C-alpha cells in the first residue's frame, strides 16, 4: 500500500509511537484522522500539516466516542487504513495493581481495539485495498514478570490479529501485527526505565519504530517484530519455553525490587 494513497484512522496519536506515525504518515502524503483523548503534542503536527491531519477527541473505551469516530469516517468519505496504536501499561506485579488500573489496561489495549475494528471493518472492506495495523509488543509473545496484565492484553491482540487475517483472507483487507520491543515513550515509568537499564535492555526511539511500521505497510508485511535479541527470544520462547523460564527466574529478584520502587511516592 502506497503511503501517499492512505486515508488512515490512527488511534493513540497524541504521543509515543502514535505521534510519530501521525507525523510520518502526513509527511508521506497520507490523510490522517487521529483519535486520542487529548491532542497534546499532536497540535504541533496539525499546524505543520493542516490539510492532511484531522484530530478527533475520543476515549475509545466509550461506545459513544467510537460511534462518533465512525460517523466522522463516513463524513470524510471512508478510510483504507486503520492503525490501532492506543494502549496503556503499568510495570507492577499482579497483586500490586488495583482493580481499576487492571480494567483500564484490558479495556483499552484489547477491548477498544476489537470494538473499533469491528465498527470500521465494513468501511475498510468497501475499499479496493485496505489494511488493519495492530501495534502489539514483544510481550505479546513472551510472558514477562511485572507485566502480566499488559502481556495478557498483547497476547490477545496477537491472537486477534492472526484470526482476523485468516477471517479476511478472501477479501481485499489485510492485517499487519507489529511487535515493538521496549520503546522510549511516556508510557514507561521511572521504575520500568531503571529496570531496563539494570538489565541492559535496549530501548528504541519511537521515530525509528514508526519508520519500520510504515515500511512494513508499504512492503505488504503481515507481521513485524523489532529488536535484537528480542526477536530471537520470541523464537526460543515459542519452541523451548523452559529456557526462557530459567532465564527470567534469575531476573525475578531484580524485577521484584524495581516493582516495589514503583510503589514509592515521588
Name which of 203, 207, 180 is nearest 193 in CA terms: 203
What number is the average pLDDT over the span 6-25? 96
* Residues 172, 251: Cα–Cα separation, whole Å: 45
* Structural domain total, the chain: 1
Print the domain residue range for 211: 3-263
Q: Which tops the pLDDT comparison, 248 or 184? A: 248
Q: What percent of the chain has pLDDT over 90?
A: 85
Query: Which residues on neighbouring strands pair with residue 132, listed in sequence order?
Result: 82, 175
What letter does residue 9 receive in the DSSP assignment? E
Model confidence pTM above 0.85:
yes
* Helices 241-263 and 230-239, axial angle in degrees (round to 10): 120
pLDDT range class, residue 182, cuts 50, 70, 90: confident
Average pLDDT value over all residues in the chain: 94
Q: Read off the pLDDT of residues 113-164 as tens digits, 9 standing for 90 and up.
A: 999 999 999 999 999 999 999 999 999 999 999 999 999 999 999 999 999 9
| Residue 192: Cβ-neighbour burial (10 angstroms; 0-12, 13-18, 19+) | buried
CATH number at residue 166: 3.40.50.720
* Residues 101, 120: Cα–Cα separation, whole Å: 27
* Residues 243, 235: Cα–Cα separation, whole Å: 11
Residue 265's pLDDT is 35
pLDDT range class, residue 202, cuts 50, 70, 90: confident
**51, 101 Cβ separation under 8 angstroms:** no
* Residues 222, 168: Cα–Cα separation, whole Å: 12
Name which of 61, 216, 204, 76 is nearest 132 in CA terms: 216
Amino acid at each position: 500500500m502506497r503511503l501517499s494513497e492512505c486515508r488512515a484512522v490512527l488511534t493513540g496519536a497524541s504521543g509515543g509511537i502514535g505521534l510519530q506515525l501521525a507525523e510520518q504518515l502526513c509527511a508521506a502524503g497520507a490523510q490522517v484522522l487521529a483519535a486520542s483523548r487529548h491532542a497534546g503534542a499532536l497540535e504541533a503536527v496539525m499546524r505543520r500539516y493542516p490539510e492532511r491531519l484531522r484530530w478527533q477527541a475520543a476515549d475509545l473505551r466509550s461506545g459513544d466516542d467510537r460511534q462518533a469516530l465512525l460517523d466522522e469516517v463516513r463524513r470524510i468519505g471512508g478510510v483504507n487504513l486503520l492503525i490501532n496504536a492506543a494502549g496503556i501499561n503499568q510495570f507492577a506485579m499482579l497483586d500490586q495493581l488495583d482493580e481499576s488500573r487492571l480494567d483500564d489496561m484490558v479495556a483499552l489495549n484489547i477491548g477498544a481495539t476489537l470494538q473499533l475494528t469491528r465498527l470500521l471493518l465494513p468501511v475498510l472492506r468497501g475499499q479496493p485495498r485496505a489494511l488493519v495495523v495492530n501495534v502489539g509488543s514483544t510481550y505479546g509473545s513472551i510472558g514477562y514478570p511485572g507485566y502480566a496484565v499488559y502481556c495478557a492484553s498483547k497476547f490477545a491482540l496477537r491472537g486477534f490479529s492472526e484470526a482476523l487475517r485468516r477471517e479476511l483472507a478472501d477479501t481485499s483487507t489485510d492485517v499487519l501485527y507489529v511487535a515493538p520491543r521496549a520503546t522510549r515513550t511516556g508510557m514507561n515509568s521511572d521504575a520500568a526505565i531503571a529496570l531496563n537499564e539494570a538489565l541492559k535492555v535496549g530501548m528504541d526511539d519511537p521515530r525509528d519504530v514508526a519508520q519500520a511500521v510504515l515500511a512494513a505497510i508499504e512492503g505488504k508485511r503481515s507481521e513485524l517484530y523489532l529488536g535484537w535479541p528480542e526477536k530471537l527470544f520470541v523464537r526460543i520462547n515459542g519452541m523451548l519455553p523452559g529456557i526462557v523460564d530459567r532465564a527470567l527466574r534469575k531476573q525475578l529478584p531484580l524485577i521484584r525490587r524495581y516493582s516495589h520502587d514503583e510503589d514509592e511516592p515521588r
